[in-house]
Amino acid sequence: MASPTPITKVCLVGANGTVGSVIAKQLVQAGCFDVSVLRRSNSSSTAPDSVVEIPVSPSLGLEELTRALKGQDAVVAAFPLRDLSEHLRLVEAAFDAGVRRYIPADYGSCDAASPQAQHHLKLYRDKTAVRKKCEELAQRAAEDPTGASPFTWTSIICGHFFDYGLRSGLLHFNMDTEEAQILDAGDIKASASTLGRVGESVVRVLQRHEATRNRAVYVQSFCPTQLEILASLERATGSKWHTQHLDSNAFLERESKRLEDGDNEALEEIVFVLGTVDADWTRKGEYAMDLLGLQDENLDQVVREVVAAHGAKA
């Protein structure tokens, strides 16, 4: 049986963002892809070295996107899902352009398919809408008797962006004051990934495109409890941290009310809770660490690196 044709031409959309910049770096370093990035004409961002820029107008119209994506084997979305219509058009353009693999902007911190996540945030309802669009187009491609469209998709779900979340305080561990806010008893395991692991997962999915076609893959760097993260931080800093325990249900209720009242900062707080209490990927049937040839990272090593980098900036 002939080996599947490898994916070589990859277009990244959102190459200058928090996760997109790391994905771009990993794609280039893999050494097996011709990488291009879609860049809006009103953007001042620049592409990484050895990466081709494909300019498009800010409106991201369907016909223009389709022309821009012609000849690409894969499209990777890594820009925030603020405008659902943009992401739906990008999926459709990839299908119309004959792209073989589409990776939507799922990533962290929750599983968009989780009823709890969908109940609390439109963000996850929108992510689910994009995934459903991918499923519909992949089904249409599979049922096309002419075989004209090769479209397939893979969603990568990675939990909280761990190193970024520690640095930014989004995980509620404050390295300036050495204070931590712990949800409930702090003993719930939750999968989390470094930004590097996210980029690595994109590379592995594209390298294993037959095994990962038309499915979600759940990945992680590790799956610790909040108390285990706290203990690691205390080892790295040599300090005893101050802790405050919070009721997760009361926290969610309060932040949901803030969001309803128009305070958009509450969104990140809701994501923090959901990605802490509802994100143990090791229990998922689609847990894909073995499939992708990935192993857990060392929690203490990652924490030490974040703490050291924080100290250097202080």
Are 206 and 234 contained in the same domain? no
What 3-state class would DSSP assign to 293? coil
pLDDT at 312 (0 to 100): 75
> What's the CATH number where 123 sits?
3.40.50.720
Q: What is the pLDDT of residue 311?
A: 81
* pLDDT recorded at residue 40: 84
With H, G, I as helix, E, B as strand and everything else as coil, classify residue 308: helix
Q: Terminal CA-to-CA distance of the chain, rounded, Å? A: 58
User: What whole-number distance in Å separates Cα of residue 276 and Cα of residue 304?
Assistant: 21
pTM: 0.94
Same domain? For 199 and 274 the reply is no
- Asked if 210 and 192 touch (Cβ cutoff 8 Å), the reply is no
**Nearest-angstrom CA–CA distance, 123 and 82:** 8
**pLDDT the model gives residue 1:** 42
288 falls within a domain: no
Residues 229 and 88 in one domain: no
140 to 85, 103, 205: CA distances (angstroms) = 20, 17, 22
Determine the distance from the C-alpha atom of residue 6 to the mean position of all C-alpha atoms in its chain, rounded to a whole number. 23
Q: For residues 34 and 210, is the Cβ–Cβ distance under 8 A?
A: no
What gap in Å lies between CA 11 and CA 33, rounded to an integer? 10
Closest among 78, 218, 102, 210 to 152, alpha carbons compared: 102
Ordered per-residue pLDDT tens for the chain, 314 residues = 456 799 999 999 999 899 999 999 999 999 999 999 998 877 766 667 778 999 999 888 999 999 999 999 999 999 999 999 999 999 999 999 999 999 999 998 889 889 999 999 999 999 999 999 999 999 999 998 887 789 999 999 999 999 999 999 999 999 999 999 999 999 999 999 999 999 999 999 999 999 999 999 999 999 999 999 999 999 999 999 999 999 999 999 999 999 999 999 999 999 999 999 999 999 999 999 999 999 999 999 999 999 999 987 75
What SS3 class is residue 44?
coil
Number of domains in the chain: 2
Residue 182: other Cβ atoms inside 10 A: 20
Query: For the sheet containing 173-174, what is the strand order?
Result: 173-174, 179-183, 242-246
Tokens 């590379």 belong to which residue?
203
The reply to whether 3 falls in a domain is no
* Cα 248 from chain centroid (whole Å): 24
Q: Are residues 20 and 153 in the same domain?
A: yes
Q: What does the chain come to in residues? A: 314
- Using CA atoms, how far apart are residues 128 and 132, in angstroms rounded to an integer? 6
- 289 part of a folded domain: no
- CA dihedral angle for residue 29, residue 35, residue 40, residue 45, rounded to 10 degrees: 30
Task: Say whether both 57 and 151 belong to one domain.
Answer: yes
- Same domain (yes/no): 200, 170: no
Same domain, 167 and 39: no
What does the block give as tokens for 38? 């879609």
